[in-house]
Structure 1
């Protein structure tokens, strides 16, 4: 297989300031429509193709690793990239930049700014979702060419896509990654081993142990403290921390689980929850920021901005702890040849998982007519042949969708 641009040695400095990371991820947070699969497409375009901070294999390994962890997969990849480039401060800056736009929109919606539901707004949002189809499709194609160069890995990718579609995102993703890892370790030849990452994994074993300890203490200790003290802010934090710690399958899975937390407790009515649910599907950035709406619109005290801050920090905190624990251990495990063969199989499974996500929810939620399909083709042409950056294609497709109505 010939080397692509993303496979060449990385020759850029290995450190970026927190401010630089914040600005880069802020732009991504403003333009990353389409859910977790689309976010990964935007990340790949920015950090593998454009900036060459990671090679294709390292990026795909990070994606595979974060698929194993509970919580928001795309946000965890962003946190890991920030950790690579700027340490703990870089991870915080990357998360804040990517998350801030959708948090602000969710809080604004909670305060009653419903102008996104007006006719023109709906058409613009339709265009943004169609652009996400093109971004994910290009990512699947490009990653497939690099990570599935032989029949064995193509077979793993196809089987993984079928498993996710048949079993659903939560169980299908976990089963696909586990089976693909075993198949890769046992069946792939040494010639298919992926090269070791050119960047060392950040963190230490001691740091990983501390992160895991804190994660477990908060998971089991927060509910007990909330029950003992009967304080709403602590109860809110404990409930959202538990959801962020235990939900597998990414953003689309967390929404119904949050309903089971807030509606029965009387923190929010079903109608209000569904209104926020719709807004969360339409805005850029991680769907986990729906927590900001729930905290801001809650009937408890404090609500508003303070409630949004408590809920948002609580639901994302497990991701920081789990990524901090996983990165150093993953770096050591990847040094073994059998593990690198397993990662080659898992990387192929990631392509299949993204292929399944391209169908549902990305395609099924966006393409409803021949006109929609035409706009997807235009967006693909702008990405693949005109070589326009993703953010420009997103804006142009949104404007075209508004204009052709």
Structure 2
């Protein structure tokens, strides 16, 4: 368990760039470097997370931990990856964040954003090579990227994934995938029951003003509704808890969540501490737990049987279509928000090209790339 926790803790300290970048970091660390799972298993976890509400990249991390060490492994992965951003967001909520204005810190963060461009580009290229070998999958990838670039919305993401699954069933199902002796699919209804109980409980607590139960209810319902994770959580949280604080305070929390490594869902940590001033740590813990747990419970419903599920001919075809669409989503995310928020001038693009070349030619450890980009970013900012 300690190995899982420590590996994810290290990534939680350096994973800037949002969900798309996190998927790239996970792939490089756990598929390419540590080989805890192969690329096919990893892609199936990514595809499954796309269909489930909740924090997409954290769900993938949870699935990797579960694959490596069962339920405790999944929890260790979640705690390791989330702990740095949780502590930072809590610190920002109860103290001043003026140190973020320091030139060296701003430069280091900008350098890590450039590294996120490199990592996401590498992940996109690798996944394209693996999952877009047929004309149909290439068309699905390109169509998905174009659609989400031109009409970036949660509805569009869900639509293209559904269309890709249907096209996959129709055009990508292969007869040789049939396995008559394949084990029966067994969903874990225990976790589904816990999710339903949690959701029902949230509707009870929603009418309990000035209580930790209300905080649990608000964040549990958001975690049960948000698909795609990342920036998608902003409008739902603003609708849910925005009325309890000033718009400026809410947007400050959102800006800080973008500036730090780790999952953006830890915006809930900041908001929870703000909503429960009599004991900010309690508010932060309840809000963070409540927004993450629905997605993990739903992942656990089918995660153990996901390999068997994915072997069924129709499901395999649908999964092939979804994998191609995920590459398209990743390509769109590479441009917006990863590239557009990081590459501002020609020097930035030059650093991205240099970093990508070093990654592909010399294949250094991710740690060295993080140190290098943070250092260069700080130096350039102070010049």
TM-score (norm 1): 0.88
User: Could you say which residue in structure 2 is the equivalent of 1:352?
Assistant: 328
Please point out which of 193, 200, 210 is paired with 1:220. 200
Residue pairs, 1:1-400, within 5 angstroms: 18-114=1-97, 115-188=99-172, 190=174, 205=186, 208-227=188-207, 229-264=208-243, 266=244, 268-298=245-275, 300-400=276-376
Distance 2:325 2:133 in 1: 13
CA contact (8 A) 1:160 1:349 kept: yes
CA contact (8 A) 1:241 1:318 kept: yes
Distance 2:93 2:173 in 1: 54
Unaligned runs of 5+ in 1: 1-17
Distance 1:223 1:393 in 2: 46
Distance 2:313 2:31 in 1: 24
TM-superposition CA deviations, 1:268-301 (whole Å, max 9, x none): 2222112111111110000001111111122x35
SS at match of 1:388: coil
CA contact (8 A) 1:194 1:341 kept: no
Root-mean-square deviation (CA, aligned residues, Å) is 2.2
Q: Given the superposition, is the C-alpha separation of residues 194 and 170 from structure 1 closer, same or farther in structure 2, using an over 3 Å criterion?
A: farther
Greater mean alpha carbon deviation, residues 287-296 or residues 166-175: 166-175
CA contact (8 A) 1:169 1:249 kept: no
TM-superposition CA deviations, 1:332-369 (whole Å, max 9, x none): 32231222122112111111110011011101111111
Unaligned runs of 5+ in 2: none
Distance 2:206 2:223 in 1: 17
Q: Given the superposition, is the C-alpha separation of residues 69 and 302 from structure 1 closer, same or farther in structure 2, using an over 3 Å criterion?
A: farther
CA contact (8 A) 2:9 2:80 kept: yes
Aligned residues: 378
Q: Given the superposition, is the C-alpha separation of residues 372 and 285 from structure 1 closer, same or farther in structure 2, using an over 3 Å criterion?
A: same
Distance 2:203 2:158 in 1: 27
Q: Given the superposition, is the C-alpha separation of residues 276 and 251 from structure 1 closer, same or farther in structure 2, using an over 3 Å criterion?
A: same
CA contact (8 A) 1:153 1:348 kept: yes
Distance 2:251 2:321 in 1: 39
SS at match of 2:362: coil
CA contact (8 A) 2:90 2:284 kept: yes
CA contact (8 A) 2:206 2:218 kept: no
CA contact (8 A) 1:245 1:319 kept: yes
1:113 CA drift (Å): 3.7
Distance 2:201 2:280 in 1: 26
TM-superposition CA deviations, 1:159-204 (whole Å, max 9, x none): 111122233241222122211111122112639x8899xxx99xx8
TM-superposition CA deviations, 1:132-159 (whole Å, max 9, x none): 0000001100111111122221111111
1:124 CA drift (Å): 1.1
TM-score (norm 2): 0.93
CA contact (8 A) 1:223 1:239 kept: no
1:382 CA drift (Å): 2.1
CA contact (8 A) 2:19 2:57 kept: yes
